[in-house]
Structure 1
Amino acid sequence: MDDKEKRFERAKETALNFLTHSMRTEEQVRKRLGDKGFVSEEADYVIAFLKEFGYIDDFEYAVSYIEYAAGKGHGARRIKDEMRRRGIDRNTIEDAFYEHENRASEFGSKVASEEERAFAEALRIVSGKEIDDKIIAKTGRRLKTLGYESGVIYSAVGKLMKMKGNGDDDFE
């Protein structure tokens, strides 16, 4: 085995070790290999190997990440931004959102809409507190931090304002 083959094998071992901890995107593996001193040709070889044997798949990664992040209450904008930071292209992200919805409906589970998730988070924030302008503003800021679009935030805040107007202040 010559030096070039040895470097390819070391690059492959490095990538496989990196993948043992969790799913990774192609971009994350490339960056890791670069950080470890492997050149582009070696990274290309390893990426091709990993894809061929199903060790990395940006589409499946994106679908899994959507399930994880949506479960934590994150909005679509925040999820998309985070996936782009991880090196997933826009088309793959959009396809993954579509696939996520299809998988959920295929198994009969009800996927809460973005508005429903935002309002549920808003209710969690105000739970047991008097609904006043201060708590409504705090809720809006929190929803923005979670990555919800402004229209979704306005809808959730609007519902809270209606509750405030109806006197439904203290609820558990």
Structure 2
Amino acid sequence: MQYKITLTDTSKKKVYVNPGVREGIYLYPGEIKKLRLEDGSELEQDEFERIRLEYALPRAKHRAIAILAKRDKTEQELREKLLQSLTDTQSLEEAISYMKACGYVDDTQYARDYLYFKKGRKSFLQIKMELQKKGIPAEVLETVFEEEGSQQMEDILEQVRKYMRKFPELDFPARQKVYAHFARKGYARDLIREAIDKIEELEE
């Protein structure tokens, strides 16, 4: 099968190589010249794919590595970031698959690490909602939170201690305000009560 190539200049110093019957790729003018591509010329399907694999796919991989070098990303976050500069979704998805195969993108490990570093500042409910927004699949979240078990006293104790300092005296109304504050954050009722009792006991 032959593709009739349309070359379109862009504002990003790249040329969009459009085969018409499938998604196109971006090449730099120097690459266009090297490959002797001309607007309206015909190109065999196999040759177009060879060009994509030689130029577009490595570029997508390099872009993905550059993004991940700055900060770990979930699969969804990496895809969204790549889409800001790439429209060749086939190369984009192949680049993401490559990152996953190399272990550079791992939603399960990302969720484990995120939970570990956040559990001393946020409730499991808050953390789970944040991970959902980052695109972590439900089955991954279920596995990670099952591994972790229930939230522990040390995860909330220091937060409760700091919040209690707002009240000169921890009378019943103040105690209720402390309880309500952390309940809204998604902490378990028993855990909040235990933390308040523990702090009162330590400060007697």
Q: Fold-level match, TM-score > 0.5?
A: yes
Superposition CA RMSD, Å: 3.0
**Structure-to-structure mapping, 1:93-108, within 5 angstroms:** 93-100=141-148
Q: Distance in 2 between matches of 1:114 and 1:144?
A: 13
In the alignment of these two chains, the number of paired residues is 152
Task: Look up the match of 1:124.
Answer: 162
1:65 partner amino acid: Y
Matches within 5 A, 1:20-59: 20-59=69-108
Between the aligned residues of both structures, percent identity stands at: 23
CA contact (8 A) 2:73 2:105 kept: yes
Kept in 2: contact 1:26–1:58 (CA 8 A): yes
Decide which structure has greater helix share. 1
Label 1:49 to 1:118 Cα distance change in 2 as closer, same or farther (>3 A).
Answer: same
AA in 2 matched with 1:118 = I
Conserved 8 A contact 1:67-1:100: no
Distance verdict in 2 for CA 1:12–1:120, change over 3 Å: same
TM-score (norm 2): 0.62
Q: Are residues 1:60 and 2:109 paired?
A: yes
Which deviations, in whole Å up to 9, do the C-alpha atoms of 1:19-50 show, x marking residues without a partner?
01222111111111112233321221011111
Superposition deviation, residue 134 in structure 1: 4.7
- The structural deviation recorded for 1:95 is 1.0
Unmatched segments (≥5 aa) in structure 1 = 102-112
Which structure 2 segments of 5+ residues have no match?
A: 1-49
Looking at structure 2, the residues matched to 115 and 99 of structure 1 have their Cα atoms a distance apart, in angstroms, of 13
Give the greater-gyration-radius structure (CA).
2
Higher relative contact order (CA 8 A, sep 6+): 1
Relative to structure 1, the CA distance from residue 119 to residue 78 in structure 2 (aligned partners, 3 Å threshold; closer, same or farther) is same
- TM-score by length of structure 1 reads 0.72
